[in-house]
Amino acid sequence: MKPTPTLLAALLFAPLAALHAADAPKPNILFIVADDMGYADCGSQGCKDVPTPHLDSLAAQGIRFTDGYVSGTVCSPTRAGLMTGRYHYRDGIHNWVPPGKPGLNAGVPTVAGYLNSAGYRTGLVGKWHLGEQPECHPMKRGFAEFFGFLGGGRSYFPDKPKAADAKINLYTAVLHGDEPVALKDYATHDFGREAVAFIQRQKGSDKPFFLYLAFNAVHTPMESPEDYLARFPDIADKKRRTYAGMLAAMDDNIGRVLQAVRDAGFEQNTLICFHSDNGGPITRNAPNASMNTPLRGGKGQTWEGGIRVPMFVKWSGRLKPGTYSQPVIQMDLTATVLALAGVKPDAKWPMDGVNLMPFLEGGHGAPHEMLCWDYENQWAIRKGPWKLAFAGPEKGQKQPVLALYDLTKDISEASDLSAQHPEVVKQLQADRQSWSKEVVANKPSFTANSEKAAKSP
Ligand code: CA
């Protein structure tokens, strides 16, 4: 078509960014979340004993976040933050959601609901853990399709057949939509298969898709398929060997999903995000032989080992591969995909996440002035290089810990600098207090007691 003078003028004078935004098709979005995977448990994070070629391909072909955080130290808080783009305390989630207890505030908009309204075809495959009540069901929260389970954990193997009149346990039952179904295989394989099928169903559609693939791997129970266990004869520790089998099965299924994206011709226009929902459980909260080296602590703690996780984004058509080292948090992924979809979040439910695209495409500065965590008797604040960490006394300890670390030099939180920098301690305490007053205090809450949390499934 020959350009008309008006079109030519528009092309010449329209800001490039505006043209780009108007012309760019909305990308497909694929969120992949691992459960209780350690910081050091894939090759790109330094893992030596378990090959993870598919996760490593995301890190190599995408952007690896060195300081990628999650807002929760356990499952439900992080999932709430990912679904809403908001600190989970704002919406009634302070801890993992046990059976029968309130889930995510049914009024808060979710990323799935926003994207659904923006014309996306939406699906969740895997673990929800934001309430099993009818109003919390994923298909009431913006997902058009659901295959998975509503609770926090279950066996990876098919359930034994039950009497026809036996009550369905909605926390652990595998559901297709609302209908209980039997697993056909090892759960990780079933979730991989359903995710592939979802992607294949999008071929020929004129709508973009949003798929949230939430593996329960590599959370307890420690159950690996035999053929995966057989891959690791050299790992002597039985628990680590089982973990290796579970992790390898997840990595293989991520590979199947990435292949399905390529085969469907979606690779250039699909943003793929991966992270673990919390750090590896080392000593408590369902330990699974994961590794967080060189970080201190693990799941259920606000030390780096509980909140800093493997995190990658890949978008072959737009993002240059590389490393990004400013602190980011999983809520940013939510804000980012809404910006890409042209969705303006409801002002009644302001987001804490930040659109990362300008930062990942060469912008300067940091997405966040500070990030904060609050869990049981612990809290932490990260601001620039500094982290101020408070931990109430653990078993056998008399005194709580309040310590200051320079994470750019001391990722392991080994050298307390609070005595050398009392002014930094004072400032961070004040910052944390005002954050807590606004975000955490007086919010509806359900807090599982620690005794129960230690036995979490
Ligand atoms: Ca978890």
Does 278 reside within a domain?
yes
- CATH number (domain holding residue 223): 3.40.720.10
Q: Which residues of the chain have pLDDT under 70?
A: 1-24, 442-457
CA 236, distance to chain mean position in Å, is 31
Q: What angle do CA 158, 448, 414 make, to 5 degrees?
A: 100
Catalogue the E-assigned strands of 264-303.
270-276
**Does 16 map to a domain?**
no
Centre of ligand 1 to C-alpha 277, Å, is 5
How far does the centroid of ligand 1 lie from the alpha carbon of residue 74, in Å? 5
Neighbours of ion ligand 1 (CB under 5 A): 35-36, 75, 277-278
Chain segment 61-81, per-residue pLDDT in tens? 999 999 999 999 999 999 999
> Residue 216 C-alpha to ligand 1 middle, in angstroms?
8
Q: Is residue 31 part of a domain?
A: yes
Ligand 1 centre to CA of 293 (Å) is 18
- Do residues 275 and 418 both lie within one domain? no
At residue 165, the pLDDT reads 85
Interval 354-382: pLDDT, tens: 999 999 999 899 999 999 999 999 999 99
DSSP string computed for 297-326: --TTSSSHHHHB--EEEE-TTTPPPEEE-S
Domain encompassing residue 28: 23-360
Domain end position, chosen among 307, 326, 360: 360
**Helices 238-263 + 187-201 axis angle, to 10:** 10
Q: pLDDT by residue (tens digit) across 211-261?
A: 999 999 999 999 999 999 999 999 999 999 999 999 999 999 999 999 999
Query: Domains in the chain: how many in total?
Result: 2
What is the per-residue pLDDT for 23? 55
CA of 42 to the centre of ligand 1 (A): 17
What is the Å distance from ligand 1's center to 10 Cα?
Answer: 51
| C-alpha 35 to ligand 1 mean position (Å) | 4
pTM for the complete prediction? 0.92
Q: What gap in Å lies between CA 300 and CA 376, rounded to an integer?
A: 9
The per-residue pLDDT for range 249-277, each reduced to its tens digit, is 999 999 999 999 999 999 999 999 999 99
What pairs with residue 209 in β-bridges? 121
Give the per-residue pLDDT at 264: 98
CB 328 within 8 A of CB 304: no
CA 219 to centroid of ligand 1, rounded, Å: 7
For residue 278, how far is its CA from the centre of ligand 1 (angstroms)?
5
